[in-house]
Amino acid sequence: MRRRRWAFAACGAVAWLLPELAAASEATVDLGLVLPAWSALPFVGILLSIALFPLLAPHFWHRHYPQIALGWGLLLAIPFALAYQGPALHSMAHMAIVDYVPFIILIGTLFTIGGGIFVRGSLRGSPLVNATLMVIGTAMASIVGTTGAAMLLIRPLLRANRQRRHRAHTVIFFIFLVANIGGALTPLGDPPLFLGFLHGVPFSWTLGLWGPMLFVAACVLAIFLGVDIAAWRREAPEVRAPAGPAREPLRLEGWHNFLLLGGVLAAVVMSGVWHPGEVNLLGVHQGVQNLVRDAVLLALGAISWLSTPKAVRDENEYSWGPIKEVAILFAGIFATMIPTLLMLAAGEHGALAVVVRAVKSPASFFWASGSLSSFLDNAPTYLTFLQTALGRLYPGLPEREAIARLIAEHPLFLQAVSTGAVFMGANTYIGNAPNFMIKSIAEEAGVRMPSFFGYMVRYSLPILIPIFAATTLTFF
């Protein structure tokens, strides 16, 4: 309790500074041009903490990860604010109001609604059943979002494989396909594509990514079937035995939550096509449509919580633990990555110019946006490399005009940025928010998930990287 009071007090102390932001919004200093490269160290620190503490000191991490995330955030925020004052406060407020809060509201709403849908019945975790769930989730991800599809199907997948000893790989491949790759076909699927939609990319344009998406998904699914068949053969005979006549038929409970998911989609689309104006929040300009969207999402989440019988959520083993962990850790990540994003956005004039200079061809944009999306939030990374492409090809043009010309004259650049950001979010647990939520849910269900580095060394590096290399040769 004392630690919680300390954390809330520290957050309150930071929030106390926010009235200064009205004046900060008038600042003209370009922080990306003046920030030193070492200002990215707190971001590196929190990434290393997420990677190493669960491996080296799991009990300490489980008890103290909120304090560790807060510590790294304050280590950046306090000297950043003291050194750059108004511009720094404005940057932090902009990240909180425009990026972090809407991000948490969206995934929290989808987590709540998805947790209110229970698939009852006997599912046996055979390779065929597991692959079918993967295909359904991959197809749904572009319709209800990667978070929505993941929250809907992860628990049925875990229940189906409850009796198996070898099951962690099913969760890993679920992260690959449902939480990332499947979201590539619409702006509703993954946050980077939604940001592109808001900046002028036509809603239907992303449907043209079906070629790379099907290629990558088919390769990953084929490898999953091989791995799962081999693991299935190592299971005990009683686990592999055919199900008896007492199988319970499949049926849905909490089905009205599908209507609420439809409301989420409608709210997201509305915020992209309706532009009634802007309001000034603590010096940050935010669209009215975005505030309306967030209010609608909160209302839909509340309706789901109040209207879904408690028994349904109990059957789903629903808890707030996963979304709490994501909210806390990503608060630290969003805060500490501000200097890194500002330096990247400054292009060749910033301290990370070496990264920007290396990005010239569609293939390099694919790998650059993907590599950074593996460790940064993929939404601002997408915007950074979209702006890099526009600045390289159409300097000085208004953004929407430049995007229209990019699509007409050099579509491979936008395809590379889009698919790199979406696909390579699967490379680490922190590449995309659903990844961490799925990991937390699986661990609550008793699945021994690999560590941060174990995930990369055993799965993403040997499986995904060769597939992405083949994707580069085939499409870029």
Q: How far apart are CA 96 and CA 333, in angstroms?
A: 11
Q: How far apart are CA 46 and CA 68, in angstroms?
A: 8
Report the domain count for the chain: 1
Q: Is residue 19 part of a domain?
A: no
- Which percentage of the chain shows pLDDT scores above 90? 29
Residue 314: domain span: 34-475
Q: Is residue 2 part of a domain?
A: no
- pTM of the predicted model, to two decimals? 0.76
Tens digit of each residue's pLDDT (9 = 90 or more) over 76-91: 999 998 888 888 898 8
Q: How far apart are CA 471 and CA 192, in angstroms?
A: 20
Provide the CA 374 distance to its chain's centre, in angstroms: 10
Number of Cβ within a 10 Å radius of residue 30? 14
pLDDT at 14 exceeding the cut of 50: no
Q: Is residue 24 part of a domain?
A: no
Q: Where on the phi/psi map is residue 252: left (φ > 0), alpha (ψ -120 to 50), or beta?
A: beta
More confident residue, 3 or 102: 102
Residue 22: predicted pLDDT: 41
- For 279, the 3-state DSSP assignment is strand
Q: Is residue 425 part of a domain?
A: yes
Q: Is residue 21 part of a domain?
A: no
Q: Is residue 121 part of a domain?
A: yes
pLDDT at 272 exceeding the cut of 60: yes
Q: Is residue 386 part of a domain?
A: yes
Of 315, 318, 424, residue with least CA distance to 366: 424
Residue 245: predicted pLDDT: 54
Q: Are 278 and 285 in contact (CB under 8 A)?
A: yes
Q: Is residue 385 part of a domain?
A: yes
pLDDT at 16 exceeding the cut of 50: no
Token pair in block for residue 178: 């449902």
Which amino acid type is present at position 426? A
Q: Where on the phi/psi map is residue 397: left (φ > 0), alpha (ψ -120 to 50), or beta?
A: beta
Residue 11: predicted pLDDT: 52
pLDDT at 157 exceeding the cut of 80: yes
**DSSP result, 304-337:** HHHHS-HHHHHHTT--SHHHHHHHHHHHHHHHHT
Partnered with residue 284 across adjacent β-strands are 281
